[in-house]
Amino acid sequence: MRIKIIGVPMDLGGDRRGVDMGPSAIRYADLEERLEKIGHEVVDHGDIAVPIPEARAIKDPTAKYLPEIVRANKTLADVVAKALKDGFFPLVLGGDHSVAVGSLWGVTRVRKKVGILWMDAHADFNTPETSPSGNVHGMPLAAALGRGRDALVKNDDPASRIDPTHVVQIGIRDLDVLEKRALRNSGIHVFTMHEVDRYGMPAVIERAMAHFKGCDHIHLSFDMDVIDPDEAPGVGTPVPGGLTAREAHLALEMIAETHSIGSMDCVEVNPILDERNRTSVAACELIASALGMRILE
C-alpha cells in the first residue's frame, strides 16, 4: 500500500497533558521503517497545527476547547480526504481521540458506505449533555453518528450519516452512566471485555467483521488504552483489565487478513506517563500488525 502518516498533536480533548507528544513518540519508535519493511510505500505529511491549551480559554465547560478542536479537525479532514483521493491509506497519529472526528469527516467525504471498528477502553459515545467532564475526546463516536453539538456533527462538507449497525466496538470496559444508556439504544455492536474473555479474541473478530457487509470502507480507530496499563502504561486515560498485547496483535493480524481496512487512527499515547517509550513502541508494533506484519513473513 501507499501509506500517508498524518500527525495530530492534539491534547485539547482531555484533562491530562502529554498526548500531544504521541505522534512524535510513535515516529521515534521507527514506524516508517517498520512499515517499509513490510513492503509499503510511506509518505509522512507531518503534523496538523493544533494550539496548546495555555493559549486558549475554555468558553463552554460542557465541551471544552470545542472551537479549536473543530478547526483542527476540519484541517485534518481535508488532508485525509485528499490522501484517499490520491490513492493513499491515511494513518492518523494522535493526539487524543477527538482527532477521530476529523478522520471520519475526511473518510466520509470520499467513501459513502463507511464502517467503523472502534478498539478502546471507552465508548466515546458521550455528548455535552451526558458527559460528566466536558472532555471532547469522549464524544467523537457519538458525533460520527450525528449526536452532539452541531459543530462536531456538521462541517463544511456534510457527509452521509454513518449507519450505527456498521459500527463495532471492542474492548470496552469503562462507561459513564448516561453514556451506557445511550449506547444500549444506539444499534452499535459492542464487544466489551466480558465478551473478549468469554468467547476469545478469534470469535470476537470473526463476529465483528461480519457486521461490515455492504461497506465500501472500514475505518479502524485504535485507542492505546484498550491495552491493559500493565503493558501500555503511557496512555491518556488508563483503565485496568484490558487486552493483553498478544490479544491485540492477534485481533489486528486477523483484521489485516481481511484486506478491508482503508484508514486508521492510533491515539492517546502519552509519553509523559510512559516507561522507556514502551507504549509508543507497542503502538508502532500494533500499527504494523494492522497493516500486514507477521511473525513468520
183-200 pLDDT, tens per residue? 999 999 999 999 999 999
- For residue 295, being part of any structural domain is answered with no
- Mean pLDDT of all residues in 170-184: 97
Which among 220, 255, 280 has a CA at the least distance from the CA of 91?
A: 220
Q: Which of 174, 218, 220, 211 is nearest to 193 (CA)?
A: 174
Q: Determine the Cα–Cα distance for residues 171 and 201; give it in Å rounded to an integer.
A: 10
Q: Considering the chain, what is the average pLDDT of its residues? A: 95
Strand order in the sheet with 2-8: 41-47, 2-8, 89-94, 261-267, 217-223, 114-119, 167-172, 189-192
SS (H, E, C) 25-93: HHHHCCHHHHHHHHCCEEEEEEECCCCCHHHCCCCCCCCCCHHHHHHHHHHHHHHHHHHHHCCCEEEEE
Flag whether the pTM goes above 0.85.
yes
Residue 156 has pLDDT above 60, yes or no: no
Is residue 162, in this structure, part of any structural domain at all?
yes
CA 200 vs CA 118, 136, 169, 282: distances in Å: 18, 32, 15, 21
- What percent of the chain shows pLDDT beyond 90? 93
| Helix H or strand E encompassing 295 | none
Task: Classify each residue of 83-119 as buried b or exposed e, where b means 16 or more C-beta atoms within 10 Å of its C-beta.
Answer: bbeeebbbbbbbbbbbbbbbbbbbbbbbbeebbbbbb
Cβ–Cβ under 8 Å, residues 9 and 95:
yes
Q: Provide the pLDDT for residue 15.
A: 86
- pLDDT average, residue stretch 201-211: 97
In a domain, residue 296? The reply is no
Give 154's pLDDT tier (boundaries 50, 70, 90).
confident
pLDDT of 277 higher than 90: yes
69-113 pLDDT, tens digit per residue, is 999 999 999 999 999 999 999 999 999 999 999 999 999 999 989
How confident is the model over 253-266, as pLDDT tens digits? 999 999 999 999 99
C-alpha cell at 108: 466520509
Write down the pLDDT at residue 297.
Answer: 64
Structural domain count of the chain? 1
Distance separating alpha carbons of residues 272 and 200, to the nearest angstrom: 33
Question: Dmax over Cα atoms in the chain, in whole Å?
Answer: 53
- Active centre residues (catalytic): 97, 120, 122, 124, 137, 223, 225, 268
Question: In which domain, by residue range, is 236 found?
Answer: 2-290
Looking at residue 127, the DSSP 8-state letter turns out to be: -
Which residues are paired to 223 by β-bridges? 267
pLDDT digits (tens, 9 = 90+) for 17-44: 999 999 999 999 999 999 999 999 999 9
Instruction: Give the CATH number, domain containing residue 243.
Output: 3.40.800.10
Asked whether residue 12 is domain-assigned, the answer is: yes
The phi, psi pair for 69, rounded to 5°, reads -65, -40
Angle, helices 278-290 vs 31-38, to 10°: value is 20
**How far apart, in whole angstroms, are the C-alpha atoms of residue 283 and residue 266?**
7
**Who's near 227: CB < 8 A, 6+ residues apart?**
235, 242, 243, 244, 245, 248, 282
What is the pLDDT at residue 258?
96
H helix intervals, 92-226: 99-110, 140-144, 150-153, 177-184, 193-199, 201-209
DSSP letter assigned to residue 105: H
